Amino acid sequence: MSYLLHIDASSLGEASVSRKVAQSFRAAWRGPVVHRDLASSPVPHITAAGVSARVTDPARHTPEQAEAAGLQDELIEEFLGAGAYLFTVPLYNLSMPSVFKAWLDQIMVAGRTFGFADGAPTAGRPAVVISARGGGYGPGSPNEGKDYLIPTLETILGWSHMLGLDVTTVTPELTMAPDVPAMAELVPLHRTSLAASHEQAGRLAEAIASRAA
């Protein structure tokens, strides 16, 4: 395997539960890692120059198109060069952090990362999404059906007509319980969910690394 590409999208730095669980994955990982922290070094949102550069002869690029194409090339080559993926993407307002959406929009290019007759070049590669959330969104919870992040990422990252990755999700829940008095009775459930997420992340890292060895 070439390397693990770790894309971080949490804004909370060391306080981020998603990042802490990701560290359990990283601690168990055996092999090189390329880490891109979108919170500290965000990529720009896609622009008209970035879109038009994809269908314009490079010899005819404007300076703006050339700059946009250069960034896309860097991100796409980094993405395609990985053998496995770790995405730290917390649930923000029922969806993904905008920095992660910006990264996706830069790398999702038909004919390069998806849209091939025989499937995406990354088809079947393992990917783990770690997504902490302040409340509970599982079956039977008051928020059931309101998580619009995981279904979206499972489609973009995992659907055979898109990136085709083999996606597994890790979702530590109720992370606001220790800090919100009204959620105090849910603290034990949060602790159970967090411990299970750390354990799952470590096991996934070991399994993926062993499979690639």
DSSP 129-168: EE---SS--STTSTTTT---SHHHHHHHHH-TTTT--EEE
Q: How confident is the model at residue 213, as a pLDDT?
A: 66
> Is-above-0.85 flag for pTM?
yes
Domain ranges of the chain: 4-212
**Positions of the chain with pLDDT lower than 50, given as ranges:** none
Q: For residue 184, what pLDDT is reported?
A: 97
Specify whether the CB–CB gap between 58 and 31 falls below 8 A. no
Q: What is the CA radius of gyration of the chain?
A: 18
Number of CB atoms found within 10 A of residue 89's CB = 28
User: Helix, strand, coil proportions of the chain in percent (round to 5)?
Assistant: 45, 15, 45
**pLDDT of amino acid 212:** 75
Correct CATH for 4-212 of 3.90.1150.10, 3.30.1120.130, 3.40.50.720, 3.40.50.360 = 3.40.50.360
3-class secondary structure, 178: coil
